[in-house]
Chain A
């Protein structure tokens, strides 16, 4: 298997940076999973698609807007009226292909096209609020839910994977620029880049 090369390049600088007077407020990491697949349903088929994705991944996934699920091996969340972003291991595409018939919808492999960046820590909401015009408070954005939003030209599909942990899926070609913005936004809180 050929290893994928991270697009972050020299912009990825492990270690602590920024204002560390109160310790790093966030950890930043690249956490791109082996497989990222966009699953899209035909009108009226989103529930069937959610069931199919659930069956293939073992996730408890609902078809409600913004819904999502987080598991050990896989995650999924709604990114549009008929769409989920599903992540998992190397066998994800094969499993989904088996589970999702053409009558339900289609699958598109984005394993190379999207990069997952993780922002975690007590100041994660604060840092992300600098970049996105959505409400990151736990009451408004519960764990496992997803949001599709944008920071200027950078589309981001965001899942809350823990009380103070968010995984952001961005276009690969823009990942380095966005990473730099993310680091800059994190300087005030202090940040640690972890592998």
Chain B
């Protein structure tokens, strides 16, 4: 499987570390809503089909990448730097 790193180009999956669901929103750091935190930390959409997920190019440029990939076929549908798509919910501190 190849992951298209926006900096390095397509690279073998062995250079990457998977970091899971990229649709979760981290609650505002000051939030005390335990349910929201619980959902962020524990709940996953886990679709059978297109999935937005984090990969870190740990054996390369070390950037985190948001990849859209089909979990049924492993086909990669798109990729972008995670830093362009912050998952911080709430107001920015």
Contacts and interface: CB of A to CB of B under 8 A. Distances in A.
A and B touch in the complex (CB under 8 A): yes
Interface of A: 43, 65-66, 78-81, 83, 133-134, 147-150, 155
A150 B83 CA distance: 23
Contacts, number: 43
A68 to B, nearest CB: 13
A81 B7 contact: yes
Interface stretch (B10-18, B36-44, B46-54, B71-79): B10-18
A43 B83 contact: yes
Interface of B: 6-9, 11-12, 14-15, 57-63, 81, 83
B63 A134 contact: no
Contacts of B63: 80-81
A81 B60 contact: no
B1 to A, nearest CB: 12
Contact of B15 (A65, A79, A81, A133): A133
Contact of B8 (A43, A66, A155): A66
Can you list the 8 inter-chain pairs with the closest CB atoms, starting with the nearest? A150-B59, A80-B61, A133-B12, A148-B60, A81-B7, A65-B7, A148-B61, A81-B63
A133 B14 CA distance: 9
Nearest to A43: B83
Contacts of B61: 79-81, 83, 148
Contacts of B12: 133
A175 to B, nearest CB: 17
Contact of A148 (B8, B81, B83): B8
Contacts of B62: 80, 148
